[in-house]
Amino acid sequence: MTQPDPRTTTVTVRVPAKVNVQLAVGGRRPDGFHDLANVFLAVGLYDSVSATPADSPRLTASGPDTARIPLDDTNLAARAARLLAERHGLEPRVHLHIAKDIPVAGGMAGGSADAAGALLACDTLWGTRTPHDELLALCAELGSDVPFSLAGGAALGRGRGERLTPLATGGVFHWVFAVADGGLSTPDVYRECDRLREAAGLGATQDSVPEPEPDEQLLGALRAGDSAALAATLRNDLQPAAVSLRPALADTLEAGTAAGALAAVVSGSGPTCAFLVKDPETATRTAQALLASGTCRTARPTTGPAPGATVV
Ligand code: ATP
């Protein structure tokens, strides 16, 4: 059998987006971050990251939103390749190509997905065989959501979301994602969350906000694969802040609920809105109604849990 030529071989990794089915946000810590109880579910919208040997580092991207991602050293995929190369004493001589389908700055961890994808693609291309635990640790250095992008499935994230415990899921959940025009900056949304808490007289620091805890009923609903029970427990503490910064999101949430969704929630820091529905037919109908309502740019039916970063 002929061996592939290592100079021309390309490794492609597919990585899922995520929705937070529970995002409980604690008080602001002295370092400015917030402790979270973050229940992640990977869903079937994917970016693909391809790694090909090159004489010097190169990054390209394709997809409708690529004008909104940096194609320089600050791109999370490029940072991931550099970090892995450094760890193994290599030069990051790689051409990374991101085929982008996850909404940019949409609260679905698109940048984190690309970082996890680049790590796995380069590790495979370079034959560095980094143990899974070390890959997860590298992911955590790159960003709080990156370990989950590598792992996929469902997981509870503690700390800033990077300390993961995998969660069992008892079935497939059907979703529709309403993608907005433009993004929201995650730091801006956390700042607005603190501002709203202070304005309500609750205080925004760790002394005044209760420690975030996972909701046992929600974890039970995931375990049972029970959509109605999950719908009753979906919760995102960043939602009021995202809606305060982008009031039109209230109309999107309302349009999906009116179309028959079991529940509606802003995805992470938004502005993508997530609708949990009971079956694929309702997903198609809800997506059509959301598009017709004119309250979003696109509406994408899909399912979760989805597998984590995978070499294809
Ligand atoms: P999260 O849900 O993790 O808070 P997000 O989905 O809201 O993140 P991203 O799509 O990850 O947002 O983009 C956040 C910022 O990161 C944007 O300003 C974007 O320009 C920048 N960025 C850097 N690298 C990438 C990348 N590979 N893909 C997308 N955005 C990137």
- What is the pLDDT, as a whole number, of residue 92? 97
The answer to whether 18 is a known catalytic residue is: yes
In a domain, 88, yes or no: yes
Q: What is the CATH number of the domain that holds 283?
A: 3.30.70.890
- The single-letter code of the amino acid at 94 is V
**CB distance 108 to ligand 1 below 6 Å:** yes
Question: Taking the mean position of all CA atoms in its chain, how far away is CA 88?
Answer: 27
Q: Whose CA is nearest to atom 11 of ligand 1?
A: 111
End-of-domain residue from the set 134, 168, 202: 168
Residues sharing a CB contact under 8 Å with residue 10, sequence separation 6 or more, in sequence order: 50, 51, 52, 125
Residues 21 and 164 both lie in one domain: yes
Q: Is the pLDDT of residue 142 over 60?
A: yes
Confidence band (pLDDT; 50, 70, 90) for 65? confident
Weakest-pLDDT range from 65-69, 111-115, 170-174? 65-69
161: annotated binding-site residue? no
Residues 159 and 187 both lie in one domain: no
Residues 146 and 32 both lie in one domain: yes
Residues 25 and 149 both lie in one domain: yes
Confidence band (pLDDT; 50, 70, 90) for 172? very high
**Neighbouring C-beta atoms of residue 35, cutoff 10 Å:** 19
Residues sharing a CB contact under 8 Å with residue 137, sequence separation 6 or more, in sequence order: none
Q: How high is the mean pLDDT of the chain?
A: 96
In a domain, 309, yes or no: no
Residues 78-87: pLDDT tens digits?
999 999 999 9
In a domain, 312, yes or no: no
- What is the pLDDT, as a whole number, of residue 1? 47
Residues 228 and 133 both lie in one domain: no
End-of-domain residue from the set 168, 201, 218: 168
Ligand 1 center from residue 24 Cα (angstroms): 21
- What is the pLDDT, as a whole number, of residue 161? 87
- HSE-CB of 95 using CA atoms within 13 angstroms: 11
Q: Is the pLDDT of residue 59 over 80?
A: yes
In a domain, 2, yes or no: no
Q: Is the pLDDT of residue 198 over 90?
A: yes
Q: Whose CA is nearest to atom 3 of ligand 1?
A: 109
Residues 155 and 253 both lie in one domain: no
**CB distance 286 to ligand 1 below 6 Å:** no
Q: Is the pLDDT of residue 7 over 60?
A: no
- What is the pLDDT, as a whole number, of residue 162? 85
Residues 70 and 206 both lie in one domain: no
Residues 146 and 251 both lie in one domain: no
Residues 101 and 205 both lie in one domain: no
Residue 186, phi then psi, degrees to nearest 5: -60, -45
Domain extent, residue 48, equals 11-168
In a domain, 202, yes or no: yes
- Structural domain count of the chain: 2
Q: Are 68 and 23 in contact (CB under 8 A)?
A: no
Ligand 1 center from residue 109 Cα (angstroms): 6
In a domain, 87, yes or no: yes
Q: Is the pLDDT of residue 8 over 70?
A: no
Residues 150 and 286 both lie in one domain: no
